[in-house]
Structure 1
Amino acid sequence: MRNTARWTATLALTATTVCGPLTGAALAAPAAAPASLYAPSALVLTVGHGATAAAATPLRAVTLNCAPTASGTHPAPALACAELRGVAGDIDSLKARDDVICNKLYDPVVVTVDGVWQGKRVSYERTFGNECVKNSYGTSLFAF
């Protein structure tokens, strides 16, 4: 009986020592909110001269974060994010504007987009005939 009382006291003291600070900390500080209530939307966009991304000479790369607010090194992150939201993240559905007239000079420009859009992995590559044609697609996403 004496050993049982000693083990009970030891167990209670150990539990209080180990769990006591945790309980006090949990009661003292409110529960932490999740890091973000939005699905992540972070992209890296690149542009280069060449027919494919593998063969292209890289010219520039920018970052674009759209959740919770538009940010990144893209020159117009708010407009680019709005453009992506307008097509529900489907970059292939961006169409050339009718008000732009481009020459037929073939000087291929390749654009890549890699990252996450609203929690889903995105990998996109498209080759345009020249810089003018690239800039005619959408309004701001590829304008960097």
Structure 2
Amino acid sequence: MRPVTRRTVAAAALAAALAGPLSLPAHSAPTSLYAPSALVMTTGRGENASTAAPDRAVTVNCAYTTTGTHPDPRQACADLDRVNGNLDRLATLRSNEAKPPCTMEYRPVVVTVQGVWRGTRVNYEHTFANSCIKDTQAALSLVF
């Protein structure tokens, strides 16, 4: 490179480094009035998420509009609203329903939920003894 070109490139880089932060607003406005609520729900065969063979994963977004790959994202968001995002309480939503009997076989199924609920980070994991117990004990939003 010629010396003049090196100086020109160095001056341009210095100008960009100094002027770049000055061109940004001091506080950026939020893009939405609603706190983010986007979750990824997974099921897998195994005792915990780190060793489970994944079966399925779905997404649900419960912010202003309800979207996602979940089969019933509106019901999932409604269930989460009813327990105020407390995933441990989701099983109580089905406590009044008649439950079919399940076999006592041990084929563990792990359910995980990760993401953000109303601006708070979520990292949830629960293991059921088998898929029948998962289907009867888990709330509608987790049965996918």
TM-score of the superposed pair, with normalisation by structure 1: 0.73
Larger radius of gyration: 1
Please provide the CA RMSD for this pair: 1.5
Per the normalisation by structure 2, the TM-score is 0.73
Matched residue type, 1:109? V
How far 1:138 sits from its partner (Å)?
4.3
Alpha-carbon separation, structure 2, partners of 1:140 and 1:43 = 15
Is the CA contact (8 Å cut-off) linking 1:87 and 1:94 kept in structure 2? yes
- Whether 2:55 is the aligned partner of 1:59: answer yes
For residue 99 of structure 1, what is the aligned residue in structure 2?
A: 98
Runs of at least 5 residues in structure 2 that lack an aligned partner in the other structure: 1-28
Query: Is 1:128 paired with 2:101?
Result: no
Aligned length: 112
* CA distance, structure 2, for counterparts of residue 91 and residue 131 of structure 1: 18
Identity of aligned residues (%): 54
- Give the Å deviation of 1:137: 3.0
Structure 1 residue runs of 5 or longer lacking an equivalent are 1-32
Residues 35-74 of structure 1: per-residue CA shift (max 9 Å, x gap): 2111000000110000011110001100010011211000
Q: Which runs of 4+ in 1 moved over 4 A?
A: none
CA contact 2:34–2:64 (8 Å) conserved in 1: yes
